[in-house]
């Protein structure tokens, strides 16, 4: 619809609908290319959702030949379900936004294949972008966290925005990286957008302060949990129930902890812990 046609409509005529359609179809698609000014209005256009009432205002469209138009009309909001109400970013624009983020960003399709990662992922996981794109996301997750991760991913695929989920990923050097996630489903692109904040330093096991680094490195993450619980008053049977393992398996784990740390029992573990606490921290 042309601006000069708008002039011919009266206050109570069809100008409301016509101008509304004009705003949605002509102005919104070219957000970067036009500027809208109001002589006596209440707002300026920032998005496709027009949420204000304007009466007898003068609109100015850049260098448009009909740039000064007085519209004695009431403009209604653009419907939420209008095709122009939710502009769709191109995939290149999403990649550019991802690259600007300070945290790791993953774009994953319905089948769990990584379609894009930003450069920050290399800093967190040690892999180049080209190494990660095309991989199955779940293969990077630590084995013990995979079931929880699958359930969380299904919530995102169902359209639920999720924040605060934590799991562990395997770094290229074999260490575990703790991620705290914010994720949502991009319906228009059929991609799962996840932003992962590296919180590894906040999730260091307490035993890191109770054992020298050379001894701590001898224990796997499961044995580190066993070590901490052995410093409490819990019996081995209670520890087994808490960790959800059989009694025989727990006895083997306990024996492995004693052997690796070079002690004969729980008293020796306590002595190791006390010695570490008395050692001054290096500057």
Residues 130, 213, single domain; the answer is no
Residues 99, 173, single domain; the answer is yes
Q: Would you tell me how many other CB atoms lie within 10 Å of the CB of residue 219?
A: 19
pLDDT digits (tens, 9 = 90+) for 19-77: 333 333 333 333 333 333 333 333 333 333 333 333 333 444 444 443 333 443 333 44
Pick from 50, 111, 105: which is nearest to 82 by CA?
Answer: 50
Tell me if 36 sits within 8 A of 44, measured CB to CB.
yes
Query: Does residue 112 register a pLDDT over 50?
Result: yes
Number of domains in the chain: 3
Q: Which domain holds residue 31?
A: 3-71
Pick from 237, 119, 103, 251: which is nearest to 178 by CA?
Answer: 103
3-class DSSP state for residue 56?
coil
Residues 149, 213, single domain; the answer is no
Residues 214, 192, single domain; the answer is no
Residues 198, 210, single domain; the answer is no
Query: Does residue 278 register a pLDDT over 80?
Result: no
Residues 116, 169, single domain; the answer is yes
CA distance 178 to 76: 48
- Residue 48, in any domain of the structure: yes
Residues 100, 186, single domain; the answer is yes
Residues 145, 186, single domain; the answer is yes
Q: Which residue has the tokens 């069809």?
A: 14
Residues 212, 195, single domain; the answer is no
CATH code, 212: 1.10.10.10
Query: Does residue 104 register a pLDDT over 90?
Result: yes
Residues 107, 179, single domain; the answer is yes
Q: Which residues pair with 176 in a beta bridge?
A: 170
Please give the model's pTM, rounded to 2 decimal places.
Answer: 0.49
- Residue 266, in any domain of the structure: yes
Could you say which of 158, 176, 202 is where a domain stops? 202
Could you say which of 181, 202, 223 is where a domain stops? 202
Residues 109, 155, single domain; the answer is yes
- Residue 226, in any domain of the structure: yes
- Non-local CB neighbours of 213 within 8 Å, separated by 6+ positions: none
Q: Which residues of 54-91 are buried (b: 16+ CB within 10 A; e: fewer)?
A: beebebebeeeeeeebebebebeebeeebebbeeeeee
Residues 123, 22, single domain; the answer is no
């Amino acid at each position: 619809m042309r601006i000069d046609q708008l002039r011919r409509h009266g206050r109570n005529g069809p100008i409301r609908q016509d101008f509304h359609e004009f705003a949605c179809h002509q102005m919104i698609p070219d957000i970067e290319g036009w500027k809208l000014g109001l002589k006596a209005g209440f707002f300026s256009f920032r998005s496709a959702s027009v949420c204000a009432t304007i009466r007898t205002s003068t609109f100015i469209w850049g260098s448009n030949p009909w740039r000064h138009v007085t519209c004695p009309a009431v403009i209604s909001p653009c419907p939420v379900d209008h095709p122009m109400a939710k502009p769709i970013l191109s995939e290149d624009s999403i990649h550019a936004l991802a690259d600007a983020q300070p945290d790791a960003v993953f774009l994953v399709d319905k089948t769990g294949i990584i379609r894009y990662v930003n450069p920050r992922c290399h800093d967190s996981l040690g892999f180049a972008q080209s190494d990660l794109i095309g991989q199955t996301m779940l293969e990077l997750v630590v084995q013990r966290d995979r079931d929880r991760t699958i359930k969380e991913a299904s919530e995102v695929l169902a359209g639920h925005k999720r924040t605060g989920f934590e799991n562990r990923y395997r770094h290229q050097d074999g260490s575990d990286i703790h991620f705290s996630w914010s994720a949502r489903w991009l319906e228009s692109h059929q991609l799962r957008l996840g932003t992962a904040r590296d919180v590894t330093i906040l999730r260091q096991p307490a035993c890191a302060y109770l054992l020298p680094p050379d001894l701590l490195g001898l224990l796997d993450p499961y044995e580190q949990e066993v070590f901490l619980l052995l410093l409490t008053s819990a019996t081995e049977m209670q520890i087994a129930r808490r960790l959800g393992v059989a009694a025989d398996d727990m006895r083997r784990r306990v024996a492995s902890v004693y052997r690796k740390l070079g002690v004969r029992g729980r008293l020796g573990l306590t002595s190791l812990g006390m010695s570490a606490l008395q050692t001054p921290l290096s500057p």
